Amino acid sequence: MDKLRVSKVEDVFLQRGADVQKGSLHLTQHHLIFRPSDASEEHWIPYALLSLVTRQASLLPLAQRRPHSPQGSASLSSSSRSGRIYPLQLRFRTFDAASLGFDSEAKATDVFESLKAVAVIPKPEEVYAFYYTPQPPSEYPDAWSIYDFKAEFTRQGVGSRSKAWRFSDINAKYELSPTYPALFAVPARISDATLQYAAKYRSKGRIPALTYLHWANRGSITRCAQPLPGLKQARSVQDEKVVEAIFSSHSFADTQTGSPSGSIGAVYGATTTNLIVDARPTTNAVATYARGGGTENMDHYKGCRKAYMGIENIHVMRDSINRIVDALRAADEPTTFGLDVGPRRIAPAKQPLDIAALKRSNWLRHLATLLEGAALITRNVHIASSHAMLHCSDGWDRTSQLAALAEVCLDPYYRTMKGFAVLVEKDWLSFGHRFADRCGHGGFVKHFVTAAGHADSSEEEDGDDPEGVINAPQAVGGASAAANAFWGFTKQLTSNFGGGGGEGHGNIKETSPVFTQYLDCVWQIRRQFPNRFEFNDEWLSALHRELYECRFGTFLANCERERKLPTEVGGKSVMGRTHSVWEYMLSETNRTRFLNTQYDPSLDDPKRADTDMGVLLIKSNDVRWWSGVFGERIEEANAAL
């Protein structure tokens, strides 16, 4: 609380869309709370959700009206000497926005500086999750253990339907690969000694490991990081043996169960369809040779082929989401707090949603590319009864996306609430997606900015602009030019995930909406198959909010090791000090809220005639804008598709 310049401010206006309320503002250690004067519902805003806080030019009311509010009773008279209103605009990681209006520059400045002090967190342990206690107590207290590695892979058939795989604890102390899980499944014919050598040839020691064994035919999905041939075109015999064992696991399985070897090729795993899936664009993969990376030389990996998916890197995806944020911001309701505009008042008019700008973001194209990759893997495993080994560069972003999307299509279990939780825990959390880095949970100082047109406080308080013309353009251009001056943020300042430095505990250049993109893809699949998921759209949008709200510890760290091991000697781990998001998402209280009333599990019965056996063959080019996350106005862009 020592960081706060002020903890309570009276006579504050809150505008969300066209709705305006008057009340008091309360600043706590982790939340901004707006309490309306009419005793209606409070607004609680976690600081962790703030993506951009902007001090805007003051407003001078020449005439006043009642606000466009459901309550419709607040008066917007100002008690300051000049009569000005001093706005702060808040943009959130959930792609919506709000504005606060104060009757003095001093109050606005105190709140601005207080928000910056508490929202930019220098130490990970200061995040809200380390202080949060569910009230009432959780109905699901063992949610941290929802994913049991051995139970999940036994469910898939490891050790029962297939003897071709074994569990390995070679990484029990996280020494082979600090970003990999302590336990994982590998080909049974490969020894731990071979794995030790193979790990030297994969980035970050992330060797090929099983993530999915298909229930219908024992086809598999394995995942890893890029190989490290470098400019010298180095090779690893041990890595080649691991890959060969993966792609011949059908044969091994049938040999173990006594099936005639002569029948294997006719039924399982045609070698021409075994796939090495490099998620990157071809040029990007080739470019990594200069940095010691690279991709598989197919002269050394027999009985398979390679496919490049062309999925762009985290920086391209960050730019894509920035463009969406820019387009949505430009179409925001003008911040006027319900004030009438005088004849010489220059203020931004509400702009239509720029559909062309949204298209230029290429977001839908990126989603289609991901879905196309997932569809390829799904067909290869289910229809071709073969195997797919996936990687990108380090194997924790695009690899997680592709694996977890294909598994949603292949296994009906992952389309249930509990199964989806297990899938996220397995392919995202245990395999080391860098949630802390990608989400930027610590906040960044550069996301607290002053807009063009914000004058020095002395100028504004002295009323040097008696007729309300704030920074009006001197040249021609009319209202459009004035609006541009008022909203004159640079792209760098308006970026939700922009590039550059910061003073939180993260690196802003490492942020990217990777998991947001995954949830969007799942929503696309759910839209195509509305009766095949136990959960509804709200489940996905709620999970997206929890990703950034930092109420739970699930998405805080970068890998299993950081989550499970104590942060200090004699201390507790993240898991020991925080609650799991699945306590909330899977609680009986929320089950009715998240349940898909159209869900028909009988459609997934493989014995049912004239069905798809529970495997979803998706249309990768059938993509739409997700209004559950981007807001209802995005439907204007859907109408134009």
Q: Which residues are catalytic?
A: 392
Give dist(CA 641, CA 636) in Å, integer.
9
DSSP letter at 399 equals H
Q: Is 640 helix (H, G, I), strand (E, B) or coil?
A: coil
**Cβ pair 81, 457 in contact under 8 A:** no
Burial class (CB in 10 A: 0-12, 13-18, 19+), 190: buried
With tokens 């550059």, the residue in question is 500
What gap in Å lies between CA 562 and CA 82, rounded to an integer?
Answer: 53
Pairing of strands 220-223, 31-36: unpaired
Place of tokens 């989603």: 367
Residue 596, marked binder: no
Please tell me whether 398 is known to bind a ligand: yes
Residue 87 DSSP one-character state: E
The 3-class secondary structure across 207-227, one letter per residue, is CCEEEEECCCCCCEEEECCCE
> Does the annotation place 487 within a ligand binding site?
no
- Ligand-binding annotation for 397, yes or no, is yes
368 touches 621 (CB < 8 A): yes
437 in a known ligand binding site: no
Alpha helices in 125-177 (DSSP H): 149-156
Determine if residue 393 is labeled as part of a ligand binding site. yes
Does 392 belong to an annotated binding site? yes
SS3 category, 307: strand
Using left for φ > 0, alpha for ψ between -120 and 50, and beta otherwise, residue 296 falls in beta
What is the rounded CA–CA span in Å between residue 161 and residue 155? 10
The conformational region for residue 456 under phi > 0 = left, psi -120 to 50 = alpha, else beta, is beta
> Any binding-site annotation on 394?
yes
326 carries a ligand binding annotation? no
Q: Indicate the annotated binding residues.
A: 313-314, 392-398
Residue list for the binding site for substrate: 313-314, 392-398
